Structure 1
């Protein structure tokens, strides 16, 4: 059973389990729909985590239908209850669009994130000054209050790196351009680079730098993130963001393509210790 504080990931785990249990029972979605007296579309919503499962549907129909042993029922019922709660980020729905709220929910419940950054420091590794400088230079017109709220959300996301008892495992490959782009001025950049050095010293955080002299590489297409989860059977999610939203790629071949690309980028990049030395040297240049 999954353990997470993210209702998004509770929903995802339960959805995967419902698919597994249905297939093991030799049933199709139409059979489940008949038992629930609902449309096949509703069953599909449950199985893709688009909607939280109704508790009555679960304990009165689905668990008996799938012949789940009574001793295991509490796990599924607890998951359904947790999946219907609200994540802290959902209280910022006025400024966090639904497409990105999903990302935050997945990130907050993940056990591993691998990310390639081509232009800016990944959100989980940004300092407050860097965040504000980025938001003020964005293409979206925002009020000062909106900028503060967005900064609050982004900075709050970092708590997952200190999560107890199991912090998120973060592996970031940063293009050299990320470190050389002067965001917010020399003092802000120096603080940001010093923060990267500090974070790289944590046991579950790996930071690598991909220098310009490596030439062409798999990341020239653009930045991406691969999110992994703690339970077996879930291949994870590859995420690619654009100006108006984000793509959540969940087909096995899509995830594999991004995992292979990340492996190649990691192999081309400086080793973690060399990367820290590289970042420290750049930080000195900003003095």
Structure 2
């Protein structure tokens, strides 16, 4: 969960729901004891808001009978959930719907990404990201583009350090052959992908255009997994003005199956590196 308050809030929400169910209490019974609405408890158990310290102490100590030696862990989790992530200090640049995703991404333990039209933000070079934004439809100024690119580069720190996250990305060959920013930018970008593919916790696969129909034709998506085993993860799907978060078990399973089929249809990692090399040479 690292330093992501978003993921700490998710963990605490899952735990509080689990503890309530183990105590054999309904939401109505707990909300009555807390002198609040069931809606407020619902928001706490679905990670919309973190609990107040006073409410949390009453829940843990009086209602759920949590052992004394476990209580501080939950209280510390609540404190962590109320902190601000680094991305939340850029509210003028990061919209609220994307701020939520950044909080999830920065606290994830693994991400499985399928991209059709462009390369994942975690793998983009500075020049590639800049070229994308300069040619977008948002009509951004130079300073706004710089701020957005800087945030995108900061996101990539989760792939570094002693405990990087696990990233597995399947890339549509069409995205690699789309000339974004010119030949020099693309050569640098492809060289970066080759370098990243050598990292122990990064796996890249290329899905050739000759593969024909496949489960990813409906659009890009990412599967995010988290350190806590109680958290089954989330599916993230982005569109122009917002995003969709899918968390139902059936929704997660369907996307996991689709990603598995994409991995099988794509070139093996070693073959993908050869294909990346070939495409890079084409830009020469």
TM over 0.5: yes
Structure 1 residue 230 displacement after superposition: 1.4
Determine whether 1:175 maps to 2:172.
yes
* 1:137-186 deviation per Cα after TM superposition (whole angstroms, max 9, x unaligned): 1111212111111111111000000143x211000000001100000000
Describe the SS at the equivalent of 1:170: strand
Q: TM-score, normalised by structure 2?
A: 0.98
Determine whether 1:125 maps to 2:123.
yes
Matches within 5 A, 1:156-171: 156-164=154-162, 166-171=163-168
The answer for the alignment partner of 1:225 in structure 2 is 222
Describe the SS at the equivalent of 2:194: helix
Describe the SS at the equivalent of 1:207: strand
Q: TM-score, normalised by structure 1?
A: 0.97
CA distance in 2, matches of 1:63, 1:118: 50
* 1:14-47 deviation per Cα after TM superposition (whole angstroms, max 9, x unaligned): 0000000000001111111111111111101100
**Which ranges in structure 1 are unaligned for 5 or more consecutive residues?**
none
Determine whether 1:270 maps to 2:282.
no
Describe the SS at the equivalent of 1:138: coil
Matches within 5 A, 1:7-22: 7-22=5-20
Structure 1 residue 56 displacement after superposition: 1.4
**Which ranges in structure 2 are unaligned for 5 or more consecutive residues?**
none
Aligned length: 284
CA distance in 1, matches of 2:135, 2:197: 27
Structure 1 residue 10 displacement after superposition: 0.4
Contact 2:128/2:181 (CA < 8 Å) preserved in 1?
yes
Determine whether 1:209 maps to 2:189.
no
Match of 1:103 among 101, 104, 111: 101
CA distance in 2, matches of 1:153, 1:219: 28
Describe the SS at the equivalent of 1:134: helix
